[in-house]
């Protein structure tokens, strides 16, 4: 019963997250690219996925701090995906909330007498390694990686650590490669077209979280 309640809670939070993010996109000038029914179907799919993710999380034996980190990351990456799909940008406030959340969690743990040295080291290492790797890749691809994607992943690394952020990135790249190849074969786009990477980060993170691949 608790698993079902947890899953429903995640579904409600997902719906609550998508509405303001869509409003942010519209306020910044994004236009609706899908027909109304397609938007509704996509929202329902995302809510259903969130319910499954919530149920899955409820069955795992996570520490409270770890579950909070994973949950915050999930909904913020979902919000980033919604905005990025419409606007091809990821607002700075999303990675900002991730960084702030990580600092708050560490501060609470410190106040409770916990050893936060390992947490801080993991957070800093996750952010720095991600920044270095993506910075090199961005230079090599001559700006092919969006700065918003880099900031989001660095903040994700700061919140969740090295293993999770690189698992997310690898799965996102795999999803992007498969999707891009399919679109090129179907002649829906060319190899030179740029795709919003936020949605693939969401898919990669959702897969990683569901199967605990980290």
Tens of pLDDT, residue by residue over 15-24, are: 888 777 766 6
pLDDT value of residue 191: 61
DSSP state letter for 187: T
Nearest Cα to Cα of residue 34 among 22, 42, 26: 42
The model's pTM is 0.90
SS3 content of the chain, % helix, strand, coil (to 5): 80, 0, 20
Q: Please say if the pLDDT value at position 164 is more than 90.
A: yes
Tokens of 98: 């991730």
Q: Please say if the pLDDT value at position 123 is more than 80.
A: yes
pLDDT value of residue 196: 86
Q: How many folded domains does the chain comprise?
A: 1
Angle at 172 between CA 74 and CA 187, to 5 degrees: 125
Alpha-carbon gap, residue 77 to 47, rounded angstroms: 14
Kindly list the distances between the CA atom of residue 166 and the CA atoms of 74, 161, 171, in Å, as whole numbers in the listed order: 15, 9, 8
Host domain of residue 55: 1-211
Identify the weakest region by mean pLDDT among 83-87, 104-108, 128-132.
83-87
């Amino acid at each position: 019963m608790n698993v079902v309640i947890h899953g429903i809670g995640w579904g409600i939070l997902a719906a609550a997250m998508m509405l303001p993010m869509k409003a942010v996109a519209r306020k910044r000038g994004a236009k609706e690219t899908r027909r109304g029914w397609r938007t509704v179907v996509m929202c329902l799919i995302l809510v259903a996925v969130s319910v499954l993710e919530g149920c899955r999380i409820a069955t795992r034996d996570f520490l409270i701090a770890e579950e909070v980190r994973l949950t915050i990351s999930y909904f913020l990456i979902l919000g980033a995906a919604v905005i990025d799909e419409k606007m091809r940008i990821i607002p700075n406030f999303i990675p900002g909330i991730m960084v702030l959340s990580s600092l708050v969690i560490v501060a609470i743990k410190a106040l409770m007498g916990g050893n936060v040295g390992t947490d801080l080291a993991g957070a800093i290492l996750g952010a720095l390694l991600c920044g270095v790797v993506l910075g090199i890749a961005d230079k090599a691809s001559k700006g092919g990686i969006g700065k918003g994607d880099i900031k989001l992943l660095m903040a994700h690394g700061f919140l969740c650590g090295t293993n999770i952020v690189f698992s997310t990135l690898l799965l996102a790249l795999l999803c992007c490669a498969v999707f891009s190849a399919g679109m090129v074969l179907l002649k829906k786009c060319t190899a030179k077209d740029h795709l919003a990477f936020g949605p693939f980060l969401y898919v990669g993170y959702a897969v990683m979280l569901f199967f605990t691949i980290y």
